[in-house]
Amino acid sequence: MSKTTGFKEHNREPAPYRNATERIADFEEIYTDHDVQRLTNQASRCMDCGVPFCQSPDINPINARSGCPIHNLIPEWNDLVYSGQWRDALDRLHKTNNFPEFTGRVCPAPCEGSCVLGITDPSVTIKNIEMAIIDRGFAEGWVTPIVPQSRTGKKIAIVGSGPAGLAAAAQLNSAGHQVTVYEREDRIGGLLMYGIPNMKLDKNQVVERRVDLLQEEGVEFVANADIGDGQNGTRSVTEILSDVDALLLATGATMPRDLLIPGRDLNGVHFAMEFLTKTTKSLLDSNLEDGKYISAKDKNVIVIGGGDTGTDCLGTSMRHLCKTLTNFELFPTPPSERSPNNPWPLWPTIFQVDYGHEEAAAKFNKDPRVYSISTTEFVGDDKGNLRGLKTMDVSFENGEFKNVEGSERTWDVELVFLSMGFLGPEHYISKPLGIELDDRSNYNAKKGKYQTSVTGVFSAGDCRSGQSLVVRAINEGREAAREIDRSLIGRTELP
């Protein structure tokens, strides 16, 4: 590394977000402009460690997040940024990541949790540097479409245009295959388009910009294409399969976990993704003027469940001008530092403040989260509208939750958003194909091979692995593309 003592000379200084009280007044991205001097200093903190755990694979992908799933060459582009070689840094970044403008914005950065510097000091601001590299690449005109010089004559259909589908499409197209991507929504992008709010990932300036590039490179996109059994408004997946050389299912894990307690059918109880999707669609269609979304304006809002989706519900509710905002978490408050059973380089399960928590605290003068609480009943009026809910405090002992006697409470609420994760993919596309499922209802396809039980049909992303990160979906899309290429050509040069 060019600056071997940088980690001694500079403290961690993440790029700040826009002022919380100002940014909740709009749906523009929360990020500030890139400060080159700050980024140079932060890149210099990369410490020439013997083994760069930041770019190492997950050591336990089921139970912990550690290292970069796409094996980003992090020390290399950190050093190039420190040396002012931004164009070279972009080339190294694109070696492993098709869409760093996505991951640089929405990835929780397991790489930073595994940074060797993080053993004793705060880690390098890897995510900030990644985002700055790709943003500069677009600003300087370095990111241009790369059209394959020749075509193989092989046709591939991909169902789902989220991060896994887009990554696979980019890779397969680069190998010279003709790729068509089908998306059931009216815009391309899947989770990236409608599952993540605009203030975290701008749709016109970031998502559609990359989709346009892929189109210029030769990828064909078909929106409003719901693929299934050919009935009830869907297109026949078996007909599509008969017309291509390979089919990749990248449909995501879109079945939300429900909370089946009394009052669940009251008006005002919604899944988080319904709330986020309708808001973004209305924002893009009419700047929210069409009213075709679930409005939180002047309402008491409770979000049940945390994670990125729960945080996005907080941020979106405040931009709607909600009256109050509370976030229920079933588990206890995380510790401020790593516990003995959560050692480095595993993802640190510690108390963290995300953008939505910061915004809620700025508006309501307190963190919105309430820990160790379980919702027991939704309460409505005589017209079937939600007016409150009942809870009990819980303790977590020996791996089990126990109700705390005498802790019953009633909360005033008109809107509840359920953000408790996802159970797996919808199956109206897999049933006509007869695809085998695993014990979690995902499409059964071995990691690294991605071949389902049906010849010529592959699966990648959340529909194969279960709900996970955007960066893991990109990894699976890239690996699946490699295996599809190998199956069609007999060999592959894709990474």
Question: Is 45 part of any domain?
Answer: yes
Q: What is the pLDDT of residue 112?
A: 95
Note whether 415 and 313 are within 8 A (CB).
no
Same domain? 298 vs 336: yes
Same domain? 27 vs 98: yes
| Token couple for 359 | 């915004």
Confidence of residue 50 (pLDDT cuts 50, 70, 90): confident
CA distance linking residue 253 with residue 443, whole number of Å: 10
Question: Is 148 part of any domain?
Answer: no
Confidence of residue 1 (pLDDT cuts 50, 70, 90): low
CA distance linking residue 209 with residue 188, whole number of Å: 11
Question: Is 34 part of any domain?
Answer: yes
Same domain? 27 vs 116: yes
Across 45-54, 312-321, 326-335, 413-422, least confident range? 45-54
Q: What is the pLDDT of residue 8?
A: 93
CATH for 323: 3.50.50.60
Distances (CA, A) of 303 to 53, 420, 454, 477: 35, 10, 40, 31
Same domain? 104 vs 182: no
Q: What is the bridge-based pairing of β-strands 178-182 and 220-222? A: parallel
Same domain? 264 vs 219: no
Domain termination site, one of 372, 390, 420: 420
- 197: helix, coil or strand? coil
Distances (CA, A) of 429 to 109, 136, 257, 452: 32, 40, 20, 13
CA distance linking residue 191 with residue 210, whole number of Å: 14
CA distance linking residue 124 with residue 217, whole number of Å: 35
Nearest Cα neighbor of 253 from 463, 464, 427 is 463
Q: Which residues pair with 221 in a beta bridge?
A: 181
Q: What is the pLDDT of residue 4?
A: 86
Nearest 5 degrees, angle CA 481-CA 129-CA 421? 55
For residue 2, pLDDT beyond 80: no
- 158: helix, coil or strand? strand
Question: Is 447 part of any domain?
Answer: yes
Average pLDDT over every residue of 387-399: 94
Spatial CB neighbours of 5, under 8 Å, sequence gap ≥ 6: none
CA distance linking residue 444 with residue 450, whole number of Å: 8
Across 22-36, 53-67, 141-155, 205-219, least confident range? 53-67
Same domain? 238 vs 362: no
Question: Is 452 part of any domain?
Answer: yes
Question: Is 145 part of any domain?
Answer: no
Same domain? 265 vs 355: yes
pLDDT digits (tens, 9 = 90+) for 356-374: 999 999 999 999 999 999 9
CATH for 117: 1.10.1060.10
Same domain? 361 vs 221: no
- CA pseudo-torsion sign 246, 193, 72, 112: negative
Nearest Cα neighbor of 484 from 152, 161, 102 is 152
| Token couple for 370 | 């309430």
Torsion angle of C-alpha atoms 485, 460, 114, 74, degrees rounded to 10: 40
Same domain? 335 vs 444: no
Return the residue matching tokens 């820990």.
Answer: 371
Domain termination site, one of 87, 108, 139: 139
pLDDT digits (tens, 9 = 90+) for 264-281: 999 999 999 999 999 999
Helix %, strand %, coil % for the chain, to 5? 35, 15, 50
Same domain? 286 vs 403: yes
Nearest 5 degrees, angle CA 407-CA 411-CA 414? 155
pTM above the 0.85 mark? yes
Same domain? 211 vs 277: no
Same domain? 285 vs 349: yes
For residue 64, pLDDT beyond 60: no
CA distance linking residue 423 with residue 254, whole number of Å: 8
Question: Is 321 part of any domain?
Answer: yes
Domain termination site, one of 139, 165, 190: 139
For residue 66, pLDDT beyond 60: yes
Across 66-75, 77-86, 138-147, 276-285, least confident range? 66-75
Peptide bond into 345 cis (omega under 30): yes
Total domains, the chain:
3
For residue 63, pLDDT beyond 50: no
Q: What is the bridge-based pairing of β-strands 300-304 and 415-418? A: parallel
Percent of the chain at pLDDT > 90 equals 94
- CA pseudo-torsion sign 100, 102, 105, 109: negative
Question: Is 149 part of any domain?
Answer: no
Confidence of residue 153 (pLDDT cuts 50, 70, 90): very high
Expressed as residue numbers, the domain containing 176 is: 155-255+423-489
